[in-house]
């Protein structure tokens, strides 16, 4: 057992960091929307799914015949990240307009908004499974769709006995860059200040001249774009996707958001990394079929001792 742990620990750590970065990016969308609206945006997982198809279609259009290297590789990566972020961000804004805004205007309960979110999630999943995927790729929509490889799996360097590959580095470095940009946006810009103000106290924010509708729209746009970035990395790393890809990943990402302290941007980052690492380490002992169980047990354990997550809630007021 100990031997196994020694052999696999570093490899699992690298794998955990990679999947953890993807969880963290998706978790940012949950956490931002929650911070501003106090709504679990259940359809966020479908925004991620839409992003994976934006990336897939772009990649298929470029159709690299062999793995690329150097500038070409980074250029293609940047291109699918941008397209995927734009598509997902747009989809998230549309989602807000159709599924949440009417409820907000009526002063509906958060429970009603959650049901609307679940409905929107079902609708988008089925829409893609039945029509959109077939239309985009020409293949049966319920099947798994595979993406061409454009980043080769060569080992870049080794840490101990773990091989760190080009794609690993790309995901982790890319995620860090995007998160730094988001963090700077939220803490430095005028819109970012508006988001924080709305999260803290919507009434005071309105009195100070913040347009709530605008802030909510920007929040969904940013959260959706983060999911799109995650989707591009996911397609590059996993190389396939299907119409249900968002479900498990969405649950994990929301778990990551809660783990770090929901409404807290840095908490989402930390929660994602912790979740990715712990479930990969746990899988060494129990086998990878127990990964999801490990993730949820960790969540329950952390919440028992830190009921508002590891870093606590900070984007918003303390909840009653």
Partner 1 sequence: MKGDGVTAKRNAFHPVDRARDWWADAPQWQRYTVYLAAIVFALILPAPWIGSFMSPESDWTTVLFYPIGTYILLAVGLNIVVGQAGMLDLGFVAFFAIGGYTLAYFGTKHGLTFWATLVMGIVLAAVSGVILGAPTLRLRGDYLAIVTLGFGEIVRITANNTDEIGGARGITNVPHPEPLFGMEFLLDPAPYYYLIVAAIALVIVFSVRLHKSRVGRAWAAIREDEDAAELMGVPTFKFKLLAFAIGAMIGGLAGAIYASKAIFIEPNSFPFILSATILAAVVLGGAGNLPGVILGAFVIAWLPERFRFLAEYRILLFGAVLVLMMALRPEGLLPSRQRKAELHEGTGGMGTLAAEVPGPDSDDTSAEVGSK
Which span sits near partner 1 by CB under 8 A: 21-29, 37-45, 164-172, 221-229? 37-45
Q: Does 293 bind partner 1 (CB under 8 A)?
A: yes
Query: Interface mask (CB under 8 A) for partner 1, residues 229-258, using x and -?
Result: ------------------x---x--xx--x
Within residues 200-229, the interface with partner 1 by CB under 8 A covers: 202-203, 206, 212, 215-216
* 112 conformational bin, left if phi > 0, alpha if psi -120 to 50, beta if neither: alpha
CA atoms within 13 A on the CB side of 172: 15
Contact (CB, 8 A) for 88 and 47: yes
State in angstroms the smallest separation of the CB of 236 from partner 1.
27
Q: Is 156 in the site for partner 1 (CB under 8 A)?
A: no
Nearer to partner 1, 86 or 298 (CB): 298
Using an 8 Å Cβ cutoff, are 232 and 77 in contact?
A: yes
Task: Specify whether the CB–CB gap between 42 and 197 falls below 8 A.
Answer: no
The two structure tokens encoding residue 102? 């009417």
The rounded distance, in Å, linking the Cα atoms of 261 and 157 is 34
- By beta-carbon proximity to partner 1, the closer residue of 66 and 207 is 207
Nearer to partner 1, 70 or 209 (CB): 209
13 vs 314 by CB, closer to partner 1: 314
**Footprint (CB under 8 A) of partner 1, residues 71-100:** 98-100
CA distance 163 to 233: 19
For 250, the enclosing helix (H) or strand (E) is: helix 245-260
Asked if 191 is part of the footprint of partner 1 (rule: CB under 8 A), the reply reads: no
Show the CA angle centred on residue 256, arms to residues 255 and 261, nearest 5°: 100
Q: Least distance in Å: CB of 198 to partner 1?
A: 5
Which range binds partner 1 by CB under 8 A, 15-23, 116-124, 148-156, 173-181?
A: 116-124
CA distance 113 to 125: 18
122 binds partner 1 (CB under 8 A): yes
Crossing angle of helices 70-95 and 166-188, in 10° steps, is 50
Q: Is 310 among the residues that bind partner 1 (CB under 8 A)?
A: no
> Tokens 């941007």 — which residue?
265
Interface ranges with partner 1 (CB under 8 A) = 34, 36-40, 98-100, 102-116, 118-127, 130, 198-199, 202-203, 206, 212, 215-216, 247, 251, 254-255, 258, 262, 289-290, 292-293, 295-297, 299-300, 303-304, 307-308, 316, 319-320
């Amino acid at each position: 057992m100990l031997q196994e742990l020694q052999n696999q620990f570093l490899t699992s750590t690298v794998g955990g960091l990679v999947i953890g970065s993807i969880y963290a990016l998706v978790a940012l969308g949950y956490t931002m929307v929650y911070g501003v609206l106090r709504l679990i945006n259940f359809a966020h997982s479908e925004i991620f799914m839409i992003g994976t198809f934006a990336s897939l279609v772009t990649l298929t259009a470029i159709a690299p015949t062999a793995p690329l290297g150097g500038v070409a590789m980074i250029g293609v990566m940047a291109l699918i990240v941008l397209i995927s972020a734009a598509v997902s961000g747009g989809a998230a804004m549309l989602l807000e307009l159709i599924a949440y805004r009417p409820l907000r205007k009526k002063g509906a309960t958060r429970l009603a908004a959650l049901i609307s979110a679940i409905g929107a999630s079902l609708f988008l999943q089925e829409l893609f499974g039945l029509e959109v995927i077939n239309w985009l790729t020409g293949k049966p929509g319920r099947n798994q769709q595979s993406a061409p490889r454009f980043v080769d799996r060569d080992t870049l360097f080794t840490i101990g006995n773990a091989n760190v590959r080009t794609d690993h580095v790309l995901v982790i470095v890319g995620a860090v860059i995007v998160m730094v940009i988001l963090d700077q946006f939220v803490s430095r810009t005028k819109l970012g200040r508006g988001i924080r103000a709305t999260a803290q106290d919507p009434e005071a924010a309105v009195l100070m001249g913040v347009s709530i509708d605008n802030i909510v729209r920007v929040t969904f746009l940013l959260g959706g774009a983060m999911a799109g970035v995650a989707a591009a990395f996911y397609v590059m790393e996993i190389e396939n996707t299907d119409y249900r890809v968002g479900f498990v990943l969405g649950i994990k990402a929301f778990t990551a958001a809660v783990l770090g302290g929901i409404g807290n941007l840095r908490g989402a980052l930390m929660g994602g990394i912790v979740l990715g690492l712990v479930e990969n380490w746990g899988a060494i002992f129990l086998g990878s079929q127990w990964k999801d169980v490990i993730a949820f047990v960790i969540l329950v354990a952390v919440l028992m001792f830190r009921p508002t997550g590891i870093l606590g809630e900070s984007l918003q007021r303390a909840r009653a």
